[in-house]
Amino acid sequence: MEEYRSHAHSVSSCKYYFVWCPKYRHPVLDVVEADVRELFAETADHFGYEILALEIANDHVHLFVQTDPKHSPADIARQFKSYSGKHLLERYPEIRETYFWGGGSWKVGYYVGTTGVVSEEVVERYIEETEH
């Protein structure tokens, strides 16, 4: 796991922790877990994300990714959810008919949190103590 990523004019450490659920929180992910892992890996490769951790429970997903600062958390969630959701419904029409009759396999909402090597307290102290 790289701690920092170098870019043309910046250095970053952008890591996001996501949690989201299937629509209606149906417990179907154990059936499609291998496919979710595959589709998430394809999404990460396509957009240049690094999956740091992935846990797939029966009714929710935990995803920890590192990315460049040009990608917003909303875009990241949308890219993982839309690509995997579309392909899961195509691959598993029986699950689609039984559980996701309204279209889409993921809930609209999600949780996102950030992590980093510097705590809030360190940043606040640095700003307060630095002469401007």
Residue-wise pLDDT tens digits, 78-90: 999 999 999 999 9
CATH superfamily of the 11-129 domain: Transposase IS200-like (3.30.70.1290)
pTM of the model: 0.86
**Residue 8: predicted pLDDT:** 72
Helix pair 29-47, 73-91: axis angle to 10 deg: 130
Query: Which residues have a Cβ under 8 Å from the Cβ of 16 and sit 6 or more positions away?
Result: 64, 65, 67, 73, 76, 112, 113, 114, 115
pLDDT, tens only, 116-126: 777 778 878 87
Q: What are the phi and psi torsion angles at 14 (to 5°)?
A: -110, 110
Give ∠ CA 29-35-38 in degrees, rounded to 5.
Answer: 130
Domain boundaries, the chain: 11-129
